[in-house]
Amino acid sequence: MKNIFSIICKKPELFEESQKNMWNDEYISKNMLKAHLNKNLDSATRNYDFVKQSVEWIARILPPTEYPNLLDLGCGPGIYSELFFEKGYNVKGVDLSERSIRFAKKSALQKMLNIEYQCGDYTKLSFEYGYNLISLIYCDFGVLSTFTRKKILSKIYEALLPNGVFLFDVFTPQKYIDVKEIREWNVEKNGFWTEELCLVLHSFYRYDEYNTFLNQYVISTENNIEYFNIWEHTFTLQELKKDLKEAGFTEFECWGNIAGKVYKETDTTMCILARK
C-alpha cells in the first residue's frame, strides 16, 4: 500500500500529468463513448438539445457561406461535426480518442456525410493553413497547461485565413467559488474506471493563485494502482484577451455560453469569438 499513500498524501504539482492516457484505455474509452452518445447527459458532450441550439447559433453568427472551412478540435464521436456539416460547412474533426474517431468515421459513412476525421493529439499536431473557423467546444481549452495553451493558440492563429475566427468556451472562476477541497472514497465493480473490483479515491484540490482546480482519481485494484489527474483552469475575460492578443488575435466578442447567452459576471461559462 506504500504506493497509494505516496500518491494521495502529496498534492500534485500544477498540471502534473496523469499516470496514463484514459482516452485510449480499452475499458474507459467505452464508457467515455457511451457518455458522449447519451443525449440527455451534460457529461462528455452537453445534452443534445443544447448542442443543436449551439450549432444553430454558430451557423447564424458565422454562416457557412462566409466561413466555409471548419476545423472541429476535440470532436469526439462527431456530434458537433455532423451538425456543422449538415449546416453547410466543410468539416474536419480531430480527436485523441481512437474509439471516438472510429465511431465518427463509421457514422459519417452510414449517413453519407463527407466529413474528414483525424485521430491525434491536437496539441501536438500541425494544422494546415486555410480554415475560416476553428472550434474548441465544451471547455477543453481549460484542461491544458499554460504552456500548451499558448502553443495551441499560436497554431490556431497560423491555420486561420485572414478574418478567420477561433470560437471556444471556457469555465470561469465562478464555477468553483464555493467548492471546498475534499477527499472521498468508494468501492466499485464494473464502474467507470475498471470492470474489476476496485477502491476509487477522489480528491478535489484548489490552486487558487492560478484559478486552477484538479479532480484526481486514484484507482486501486487487487494487483494495480493507477491515477488520473483531470485539470480545469478557469478564466477571466482579461486573461483570455491578454493571451489571445499575444497570439496575434485583434478582435474579441464574449457571450455567457456557446449558444449565445448574454454574458454576466456571475456566469460559470464564457464563450469567446477571437478574430484574426
User: Using one digit for the tens of pLDDT, what is the confidence trace for 32-53?
Assistant: 988 888 888 776 688 999 999 9
The Cα–Cα gap between 185 and 217 comes to 9
Q: Among residues 27, 43, 13, which one has the least CA distance to residue 226?
A: 27
Cell of 23: 482516452
* pLDDT for the residue 174: 97
Question: What's the predicted TM-score (pTM) here?
Answer: 0.94
* Whether residues 144 and 214 fall in one domain: no
* Whether residues 95 and 137 fall in one domain: yes
Q: What is the mean pLDDT of residues 162-171?
A: 98
* pLDDT for the residue 23: 87
* pLDDT for the residue 1: 47
The Cα–Cα gap between 259 and 53 comes to 6
The Cα–Cα gap between 58 and 38 comes to 22
**Structural domain includes residue 30:** no
**Structural domain includes residue 145:** yes
* pLDDT for the residue 44: 66
**Structural domain includes residue 33:** no
* pLDDT for the residue 200: 96
The Cα–Cα gap between 159 and 127 comes to 6
Whether the per-residue pLDDT at 19 is higher than 90: the answer is no
* Whether residues 15 and 100 fall in one domain: no
**Structural domain includes residue 181:** yes
* Whether residues 108 and 161 fall in one domain: yes
CATH of the domain at 266: 3.40.50.150
Q: Map residue 39 onto helix, strand or coil.
A: coil
* pLDDT for the residue 70: 98
* pLDDT for the residue 45: 80
* Whether residues 197 and 223 fall in one domain: yes
* Whether residues 19 and 42 fall in one domain: no
**Structural domain includes residue 32:** no
Whether the per-residue pLDDT at 2 is higher than 60: the answer is no
Range of the domain at 205: 2-25+175-232
* Whether residues 143 and 154 fall in one domain: yes
**Structural domain includes residue 20:** yes
* Whether residues 68 and 168 fall in one domain: yes
* Whether residues 44 and 156 fall in one domain: yes
Contact between 130 and 161 (Cβ < 8 Å): yes
* Whether residues 105 and 83 fall in one domain: yes
pLDDT tens digit sequence for 174-211? 999 999 999 999 999 999 999 999 999 999 999 999 99
**Structural domain includes residue 31:** no
pLDDT tens digit sequence for 49-65? 999 999 999 999 999 99
Q: Work out how many domains the chain is built from and give that number.
A: 2
Amino acid residing at 74: G
* Whether residues 124 and 259 fall in one domain: yes
